[in-house]
Amino acid sequence: MSLLILSDVHAGYGKMEVLHGIDLYADEGEIVTLIGANGAGKTTTLNAICGLVRITEGTVTFRGREITNWPTKDIVRLGMTQVPEGRKLFSELTVRENLEMGAYLRKDREGVRRDMEYVFELFPRLRERAGQLAGSLSGGEQQMCAIARALMARPQLLLLDEPSLGLAPLLVEQIFEILQRLNADGTTLLLVEQNARMALEIADRAYVMETGRIIMQGPAKELIHDPRVRSAYLGEP
Amino acid sequence: MRKTLRRSWERLQRQNQERPARWLGTALVALFLFLVLIGPFLPLSPQYRSRAADIFLLCVIYSIIALGLNSVTGYTGLLDLGIVAFASIGAYTATILYDRPWMQFPGSFLVVLLVGGLHAALWGLLRGAPTLRLSGDYYAIVTFAFAEIVRIFIRTEGWLTGGGNGFKNFPAINLFGARLIEGEYQGILKTSGYWEYPHGGVWHGGTAGFYYLSLVLLILTVVVMYRLEDSRTGRAWFAMKADETSAAACGINLSAYKLYAFAISAFFAGVGGALLGFKMNVVSTNVFDFWFSVVVLCGVVLGGMGSIPGVIAGTFIVYGLGELLREQVRIGGIVLQVDDRARFLFFGILLVLVMVFRPQGLFPRRPVEESKKLAVEYDSPLYRLGR
């Protein structure tokens, strides 16, 4: 059974429906990516999964349990965390305190300390900045901190919303390398991206969204060669 | 507490090594604390001494209310324009209760303070529960409206509250044998207190007893606030203030922590309001009006939202200045005095100056400057291009 299953999920804001029936799944150990243009509903999909947007129809199943419209804190406790779009760090707290916040629901001090070491190893820059206020970090460092914070919850499934947003190409590559390493260490990733090329290169499978529907899906290696994807999202003729 | 103290002492020493000029700041802080400590006994002529004691007492009491306000506005970032609602609920509850014959037992004063605070906290929860999803201007409007509702209730329900005339001449405050304050309100306020020694003799300390009781309560408030700030709760508040989505993604129960903040805020505002009522020996909507909220907020913003020393300093500046501006100044034959309503002008000017030159407040919670300097180095042109 897959780790995460969405079946026929409808969701939206108030009376406006944004998602018109999303079906998608992620198996354990996979990198799954969700690509699409602005306003396609990618972020809404992520928010619906982790209980931040109300689902009006359909179900979300995670680790064999139906979690449709659960409170976010309970979903986090079950092992899923989101790295929100645009970093959204706690700017008045230091980097170390931000990381501690990620482990908010955990009780095992020893494990938290080990995981802190682990993320410092992944992102050595954060160790240098540990005592600094998160609001004073550069864009790339903030993204690293956001990912590290999410990891501190020790999630089985990590939802990433546009981790490449606003970063220099060099930094984007660095972030994606780290995502691959995380995946190799056993974390399943659901990656929402506008930078379709990078996303398809590291993903196992991919979904293409348009106006609230999934219009294409398949192994990433196939989609990357699909002429429609190439012209619409990879900027090639 | 000991850990916090030790940590701040170590930080102070570190900073002093880096910048020797900081000893000046430390000395000023020490002087300020010393003045607060001897508030009622400043070496001045008797007339000025009692005036100074009065101003210090006012500042101490308002600091408690301001710290209450700070736990919503400073920690969770929601603008509250109606702190007066809780101060007046606390004041009316405590003074009405204290007037009852069955409330005359040793220590009953502390009981009515506590009940006043708890009653305010209850209304903090009741106001907070339906407004959990509001933020920014919308929340501010609700707080303002609630304060008006409370004020109008007090004015119309005269059988309970004394209506527009307010409520005055409370029984003298007895606390385990010490008579802290007794007074009558006849146009001008007269207050005094005394202490009857167990073996005879009487010590006339003016309002000193009440001052030190208020000071102890302020210190307790500060301790509670520091502990909260450094706890899971405080961290959750700061996280929610920065971003609710991320906070939820960390597993924080947003509603519960918001309600917690509302209750804490209302409780301390209620206790402070009760003290204020007893201090003035009158509670009325002329004191607990909209400007009350504005001036308390003014002090919080001036000192630095979310910073405990900042909030206290800001409150002392605002109320100290406000009281000093009441004084007449004689230069030669000319008498200078600021019109009572014009005092707000000075608050406005002060606030504008702070907003322009030091938007984070006079004493912000954490010095951002140092970490900002580091960040600039990494703000390379490449990064800016990427954005």
Contact B63, B315 (CB under 8 A): yes
Whether A84 maps to a domain, the answer reads: no
Query: Which residues of chain A make contact with B248, given a CB cutoff of 8 A?
Result: 51-52, 72-73, 76
If asked whether residues A94 and A70 sit together in one domain, one would say no
If asked whether residues A117 and A5 sit together in one domain, one would say no
**Which residue, A154, A187, A208, sits at the end of a domain?**
A154
If asked whether residues A148 and A171 sit together in one domain, one would say no
If asked whether residues A148 and A167 sit together in one domain, one would say no
What does the domain layout of chain B look like in residue ranges? 45-386
Instruction: List alpha helices for chain A, DSSP H.
Output: 42-49, 72-78, 95-102, 109-122, 124-128, 139-151, 169-184, 196-202, 220-223, 227-233
CA distance B136 to B335: 45
**Which residue, A129, A154, A179, sits at the end of a domain?**
A154
355-374 in chain B: CB under 8 A from chain A: 365-366, 368, 371-372, 374
If asked whether residues A233 and A187 sit together in one domain, one would say yes
Q: Give the CA distances from residue B147 to residues A149, A197, B143, B154, B156, in Å, rounded to whole numbers and listed in that order.
A: 40, 56, 6, 11, 14
Q: Is B236 on the interface with A (CB under 8 A)?
A: yes
Whether A127 maps to a domain, the answer reads: yes
Whether A102 maps to a domain, the answer reads: yes
Domain containing A226: what range?
A: 1-79+156-237
Whether A198 maps to a domain, the answer reads: yes
Whether A104 maps to a domain, the answer reads: yes
CA distance A21 to B76: 36
Contact B68, B267 (CB under 8 A): yes
Whether A121 maps to a domain, the answer reads: yes
Instruction: Give the gap in angstroms from C-alpha B177 to the nearest C-alpha of chain A.
Output: 47
Whether A9 maps to a domain, the answer reads: yes
If asked whether residues A163 and A216 sit together in one domain, one would say yes
CATH 3.30.1490, applies to B45-386? no
Optimal mutation site among A46, A73, A144, interface B, most CBs of chain B within 10 A: A73
Show the tokens assigned to B34: 């010393």
- Smallest CA-to-CA distance from B8 within B26, B24, B21 is with B26
Optimal mutation site among B15, B133, B240, B250, interface A, most CBs of chain A within 10 A: B250
Contact B226, B1 (CB under 8 A): yes
pLDDT digits (tens, 9 = 90+) for A140-196: 889 999 999 999 999 999 999 999 888 888 889 989 999 999 999 999 999 998 888
- The percent of chain A in helix, strand and coil, each rounded to the nearest 5, is 40, 30, 35
- A130, with CB counted inside 10 A (0-12, 13-18, 19+), is middle
Collapsing DSSP states into helix, strand and coil, what is residue B269? helix
CATH code (residue A164): 3.40.50.300
Q: Is B387 on the interface with A (CB under 8 A)?
A: yes
Query: Which residues of chain A make contact with B251, given a CB cutoff of 8 A?
Result: 72-73, 76-77, 104-105, 153
ipTM of the complex: 0.83
Digits of tens for pLDDT over chain B (387 positions)?
677 777 777 776 776 666 656 678 788 889 999 999 988 888 888 778 878 888 899 999 999 999 999 999 999 989 999 999 999 999 999 999 988 888 878 788 899 999 999 999 999 999 999 998 888 889 999 999 999 999 999 999 888 888 878 887 777 777 776 677 665 544 344 455 555 555 555 555 567 788 889 999 999 999 999 999 888 999 999 999 888 888 988 889 999 999 999 999 999 999 999 999 988 888 888 889 998 999 999 999 999 999 999 999 999 999 988 888 887 777 777 877 777 778 788 888 888 998 898 888 888 887 555 444 444 444 433 333 333
Whether A8 maps to a domain, the answer reads: yes
If asked whether residues A103 and A64 sit together in one domain, one would say no
Residue positions counted in chain A: 237
DSSP B171: P
- Give the helix/strand (H/E) hosting A65: strand A65-66
Q: Using an 8 Å CB-CB cutoff, list residues of chain A that contact chain B.
A: 47, 50-52, 71-73, 76-77, 81-84, 88-93, 97, 100-102, 104-105, 129, 132-133, 135-141, 146, 149-150, 153, 166-171
If asked whether residues A98 and A131 sit together in one domain, one would say yes
If asked whether residues A72 and A162 sit together in one domain, one would say yes
If asked whether residues A69 and A160 sit together in one domain, one would say yes
If asked whether residues A162 and A138 sit together in one domain, one would say no
**Which residue, A154, A169, A201, sits at the end of a domain?**
A154
If asked whether residues A182 and A210 sit together in one domain, one would say yes
CB–CB contact A72 B371 (8 Å):
no
Strand segments (E) across B224-383: 282-283, 329-331, 334-336
